[in-house]
Amino acid sequence: MRKLLVAILFGLVATASAQPAQPARPAAPARPVRAKPGKVDVAKATAALRGADVAAAAKAAAELGGSPDPAHHEPLLDALATGVHPDVLVAGLTALTGTATKTDLQAIGAYVRYRNGAVRAAALRAFSKSIGDPTLVIESLSVFDAPVRAAAAEAAGRMKLTAAVPALLVLLDKGEAPAALALGAMADEALARTVAEHLGVAPDATLAVALGAMLTRLEFGPETIRVDLVRTLSKLSGVEALDALEGYVEIAPENPPRQSRREAEAVLKARQGDR
Amino acid sequence: MSLARVFAPVALAAVLAAGCGPKTVYGLSSDDNNAERLGAALAKRAVAKADAPLNALGKPLVFAAVGGAKKQLVAFDAGAGSALWTVDADVQSRVAVAGELVVAKEAGGVVVRKLADGSVRAKLALAGELVGVTTDGERVYVVVQAGTGPKPVWSLIAYSGDGSQLWQNDSPGALGAPVAQGGLVLSPFLKQWLAVLDARTGAQLTRVRGLDEEISELRVTATAAFFGSKAGVFRLDDKAATGSRAGATYGTVTLPKELATADYGHDAFDPVQAGYSAFDRRRILWRADPTADGPFRWSGELIAVHFFRFVFGLTPAGEFRWAYSHPRVELVASEHAGPVIVAVAGDGTLVALDAATGAVRASAKLEVGGPVLGATIDCDGWAPSDAGEAPSTVTALATIARDRDARFEAIKQYAVATMAKLEGADVTRDLVALVVDPRTPIKLHDTVADLLVARKDPTGLPALIDALAVRPDFLTNTQPVGLIEVGRAIGALGGVSLPEAEQARAMAALELQAFDPATAAPARLELVRALIAIGHGRERARLKAELVQYRADPGFAAEADLVVAMTAAVAAGGPEDREVVRWIAADARSHPAVAAAAQAALQPASQP
């Protein structure tokens, strides 16, 4: 029966019209649960996963998914393939984010369009951390679930996905902090200027997050753009701009002296009363 | 000099010149419905052999009253597409036209103008409230109501074209606006009688008494005269002497209820309708062919209904034939001229619609400095050389349905109901466009949605599939609209044979929307139902996968109808399908509601 169900769900993955690119996965076999010695009691966890106690199943999913041993993932993948409670899914998918192997990705991929936003975000994080799928990430930036967009933005920033920049700029204008952080993480000088041009369009707080994220990257430069961003930040209202300037002052070396740092300090001094 | 001071001496001189005082010809008793006398009176009547304008130029002319800062009367040659003349005039009644005369009430009194150039030929003072004015080209006939209080008096007064009073008939009872034709004056009395008078002397030749319905509406053309009421039309012929519908040449049309407020003509007793008013924008436009001895025959077996901005071509039984939607501004006047229906819009646009097809055979623009308040259309027999291109009925109806004017809700309902009876993919596409348009009023939206379902038109499937193509997009703030309605419409095609490729396309589109996380539960239910209806089992693999994946999800379990539909559809499959359902029913991790639905689906009674 389990074999049949696995095939059914993997069939869904294979036939759904808009599924992400998948790594090659062999035809789904029945997954024997093999208990291995170590910290994870696989047999116990497997039993919990098959039970009706959601909390226990979630705990077991986290244990199995978090195990660096791919063999421990097998019962979890079976659970994913046969449908479990969203709490169990979130726990398992989140655990797999740092440990997923290529063979785990097919099961994870079946959840990147799950209807529950938390599950979907967890699947997207696990999936995009293991295998960067630009199409999936960009598509996920436009969904209506905020947690999913946040996960996608995070992935876009981590992957320095320039194709995602137009979408991220729209989200910046809509005041989405994850998009601001993503832009901050991937911006070069040209993108930094583009982002700075959203002064007056994007909310000040969100723009400050984006510019602050750029300035706190040690390799970000040259100095001319740092100075420009500090000056842009000086025009923004709200504590977020001050946080960004403070963050920059903290990481910027005192020597050799930087004009951008001096100007940031001057702004902070002048706006002490703003906090 | 005030107009009153101008008119008063003219009126006095006219009375003196008449040489005789008013006479009373109206009374409650008379030799009514005398066939012999009516025949004799009609035999005296001079009428044309063919339809033609009543004006002496014989051209299709339109006389438009223009409001605004500079009030004007414009005579427009529709055939030439240019103005004949324009004069300053504060027109306050309908304009009557015949022969060389153009007559209307203007500020202070009735003004008689020359057809040739619009110059004033005579001014007639009014000794009371104007009820109506008409002309036969030789004389001018004015009905006024004088005196207020217990004993008002109505007077029908005849003048020469130069303003000399010729005769006057007084009446203790209400007279309606008269019409004149070929030596006769037709004067409605107390809504019950039609007095047929000698135009030269005012003497009553005979009188028709309406036995079945009132007499409140009159119409003359070059070839015939008609009388009647809101209920129908009598031809004034020998048989009219019967006074009854059965005995006379009588016609009536059956209108769709949404158009039923339209009238065959103007109410001759309504002072409001003595001038141009909203009644002119809601009319039945008709002509009748002469019949030797037969029943009333509507020309071309078609009539039209002018309803504000719209004109509908209908059979006398009310069956839809064509529609015309005038852009933006209302049509303030209209007339059935035989080959064409001529209408004038408030901005001065003139259109001539083919009476049989609704094609625009001519259009022109009156150069006016203000809004056109109303118009008299004297274009009988006009046949523009351009045959026009028959309009897309669907497009016209869709335009009407999409109209933003909230006054026309009933007409929009009629338009969509009519559309839905037509075949073709375009109809479905237009109906879908209405459903997905958020500006469509709720009642109309619901009607269209029901009509879409009821159509069961497989040719419309591509339009329905296209409607499912809109994807939710947070960035552009786009969301698909009308998924429920489109789902229901596709589901209604379940019993219809669909081409395999279309079925596959439809299923793919349904799946994409049904299982999109952004799709709301009610829409998902209808989309899945549609999938099941048209899938004929092909949908089971996908439904099975969805059931397995979501069986433990409380969010899915809360969509009770969806769960029932899906489990039943899968359970209706083969042994392998039922095995999955059985497993879902038994597995501890399945949500109890889903497990129960699965269990129920396995019972024999739930099998289709």
**B113-129 residue pLDDT tens:** 999 999 999 999 998 99
Q: Let me know: does A75 contact A30? Beta carbons within 8 Å.
A: no
Q: How many CB atoms lie within 10 A of CB B33?
A: 20
Q: Which helix (H) or strand (E) holds B121?
A: strand B120-125
Q: Let me know: does A58 contact A87? Beta carbons within 8 Å.
A: yes
Query: Regarding beta strands B61-66 and B372-378, do their DSSP bridges make them parallel or antiparallel, or are they unpaired?
Result: antiparallel
Asked whether the beta carbons of residue A143 and residue B518 sit closer than 8 angstroms, the reply is: yes
Q: Three-class SS of residue B164? A: coil
Ordered DSSP codes for B28-91: S-S-BT-HHHHHHHHHH----SS---SBTT-S-EEEEEE-SSS-EEEEEETTTTEEEEEEE---
B182 band by pLDDT with thresholds 50, 70 and 90: very high
Query: Regarding beta strands B303-307 and B282-285, do their DSSP bridges make them parallel or antiparallel, or are they unpaired?
Result: antiparallel
Examine the pLDDT at A16 and tell me if it is beyond 70: no
Asked whether the beta carbons of residue B474 and residue A149 sit closer than 8 angstroms, the reply is: yes
Examine the pLDDT at B555 and tell me if it is beyond 70: yes
Asked whether the beta carbons of residue A115 and residue B553 sit closer than 8 angstroms, the reply is: yes
The 10s digit of each residue's pLDDT in B371-399 is 999 999 999 999 999 888 887 888 888 88
Q: Which ranges constitute the DSSP H helices of B350-457? A: 393-402, 409-421, 425-436, 442-455
Which residue of chain A has the CA closest to B473? A142
Sign, Cα dihedral of B460, B463, B468, B469: positive
Reference B523, options B472, B480, B471; nearest CA is: B480
Examine the pLDDT at A26 and tell me if it is beyond 80: no
Asked whether the beta carbons of residue B541 and residue A82 sit closer than 8 angstroms, the reply is: no
**Helix B540-550, helix B592-602: angle, nearest 10:** 150
Asked whether the beta carbons of residue B544 and residue A83 sit closer than 8 angstroms, the reply is: no
Examine the pLDDT at B66 and tell me if it is beyond 70: yes
Examine the pLDDT at A25 and tell me if it is beyond 70: no
Q: Let me know: does A260 contact A231? Beta carbons within 8 Å.
A: no
Q: Tokens 């698909």 map to which residue?
A: B480
Alpha-carbon span A234 to A84, nearest angstrom: 50
Alpha-carbon span B132 to B156, nearest angstrom: 9
Which residue of chain A has the CA closest to B551? A83
Reference B174, options B186, B155, B184, B189; nearest CA is: B189
Residue B383 makes CB contacts below 8 A (sequence gap 6+) with B338, B339, B340
The 10s digit of each residue's pLDDT in B7-49 is 434 443 444 344 455 666 787 778 899 999 999 999 999 999 9
Query: Taking the CA of residue B493 as centre, how many other CA atoms within 13 Å lie in the half-sphere pointing to its CB?
Result: 27
**Helix B560-571, helix B575-586: angle, nearest 10:** 140
Interchain CB contact of B515 with A (< 8 Å): yes
Per-residue pLDDT averaged across B422-449, rounded?
90
- Terminal-to-terminal C-alpha distance of chain A: 63
Report the gap between the CA of A128 and the closest CA in chain B (Å). 19
* Chain B residues 317-376 with a CB less than 8 Å from chain A: none
Examine the pLDDT at A223 and tell me if it is beyond 70: yes
Alpha-carbon span A81 to A7, nearest angstrom: 8
Report residue A116 as tokens.
């529950």
**Amino acid identity of B518?**
A
- The CATH number given to B3-378 is 2.130.10.10
The 10s digit of each residue's pLDDT in A225-266 is 999 999 999 999 999 999 999 999 999 998 888 999 999 999
Asked whether the beta carbons of residue A83 and residue B517 sit closer than 8 angstroms, the reply is: no
Q: Let me know: does A171 contact A156? Beta carbons within 8 Å.
A: no
Burial group, residue B518, by CB count within 10 angstroms (0-12, 13-18, 19+) = middle
Per-residue pLDDT averaged across A112-136, rounded?
89
pLDDT at A3: 57
Asked whether the beta carbons of residue B553 and residue A4 sit closer than 8 angstroms, the reply is: no
Q: Let me know: does A85 contact A116? Beta carbons within 8 Å.
A: no
The 10s digit of each residue's pLDDT in A41-82 is 899 999 999 999 999 999 999 999 999 999 999 999 999 999
Per-residue pLDDT averaged across B74-93, rounded?
97
pLDDT at B141: 98
Examine the pLDDT at A12 and tell me if it is beyond 60: no
Examine the pLDDT at A39 and tell me if it is beyond 50: yes
Alpha-carbon span B588 to A57, nearest angstrom: 12
Reference A80, options A65, A98, A102; nearest CA is: A65
The 10s digit of each residue's pLDDT in B455-473 is 999 999 999 999 999 999 9
- Residue range(s) of every CATH 2.130.10.10 domain in chain B: 3-378
A34 band by pLDDT with thresholds 50, 70 and 90: very low
Chain A hits for B554, CB-CB cut-off 8 Å, are 85-86
Reference B316, options B335, B344, B289; nearest CA is: B289
**Chain A interface, best mutation among B525, B553, B577, by max A CB count within 10 A:** B553
Q: How many CB atoms lie within 10 A of CB B206?
A: 24
Interchain CB contact of B551 with A (< 8 Å): yes
Alpha-carbon span B601 to B608, nearest angstrom: 10
- The CATH number given to B392-534 is 1.20.930
Alpha-carbon span B281 to B262, nearest angstrom: 9
- The per-residue pLDDT of chain B, averaged, comes to 92
Q: Let me know: does B551 contact B565? Beta carbons within 8 Å.
A: no
pLDDT at B407: 84
* Chain B residues 527-546 with a CB less than 8 Å from chain A: 541-542, 544-546
Chain B hits for A52, CB-CB cut-off 8 Å, are 588-589
- Residue range(s) of every CATH 1.20.930 domain in chain B: 392-534
Examine the pLDDT at B83 and tell me if it is beyond 70: yes
pLDDT at A6: 56
Report residue A224 as tokens.
């001319």
Alpha-carbon span B120 to B109, nearest angstrom: 12
Q: How far is CA B102 from the centre of its chain?
A: 29
Mean pLDDT lowest for which of A3-7, B317-321, B337-341?
Answer: A3-7
Chain B hits for A120, CB-CB cut-off 8 Å, are 517
Q: Let me know: does B357 contact B324? Beta carbons within 8 Å.
A: no
Chain A hits for B551, CB-CB cut-off 8 Å, are 83
Which residue of chain B has the CA closest to A120? B517
Alpha-carbon span B103 to B177, nearest angstrom: 14
Q: Let me know: does B178 contact B171? Beta carbons within 8 Å.
A: no
Question: Residue B253 — φ and ψ, nearest 5°?
Answer: -115, 155
Report the gap between the CA of A99 and the closest CA in chain B (Å). 23
Torsion from C-alpha of B229, B189, B129, B4, nearest 10 degrees? 120
pLDDT at A4: 55
Determine the Cα angle at A91 with ends A85 and A97, to 5°. 130
Report the gap between the CA of A174 and the closest CA in chain B (Å). 9
Per-residue pLDDT averaged across B194-200, rounded?
97
Per-residue pLDDT averaged across B241-269, rounded?
95
Alpha-carbon span B95 to B133, nearest angstrom: 8
Interchain CB contact of B290 with A (< 8 Å): no
**Chain B interface, best mutation among A6, A8, A112, by max B CB count within 10 A:** A8
**Total number of residues shown for chain B:** 608
Asked whether the beta carbons of residue A11 and residue B545 sit closer than 8 angstroms, the reply is: yes
Eight-class DSSP state of B156: E
pLDDT at B132: 97
pLDDT at A7: 60
Examine the pLDDT at B593 and tell me if it is beyond 50: yes
Q: Let me know: does A73 contact A67? Beta carbons within 8 Å.
A: yes
Rg (CA), chain A: 23
From B508, B587, B589, residue closest to A85, measured CB to CB:
B589
Q: How many CB atoms lie within 10 A of CB A190?
A: 9
From B474, B545, B589, residue closest to A9, measured CB to CB:
B545
Alpha-carbon span A224 to B11, nearest angstrom: 96
Chain A hits for B553, CB-CB cut-off 8 Å, are 83, 85-86, 115-116
pLDDT at B27: 78
Between A14 and A245, where is the model more confident?
A245
User: Residues of chain B with pLDDT > 90: what percent?
Assistant: 84
Mean pLDDT lowest for which of A52-61, A111-120, A266-275, B491-500?
Answer: A266-275
Chain B hits for A11, CB-CB cut-off 8 Å, are 541, 545
Asked whether the beta carbons of residue A1 and residue B517 sit closer than 8 angstroms, the reply is: no
pLDDT at B606: 54
User: Residues of chain A with pLDDT > 70: what percent?
Assistant: 86
pLDDT at A144: 94
Chain A hits for B541, CB-CB cut-off 8 Å, are 8, 11, 15
Per-residue pLDDT averaged across B209-229, rounded?
96
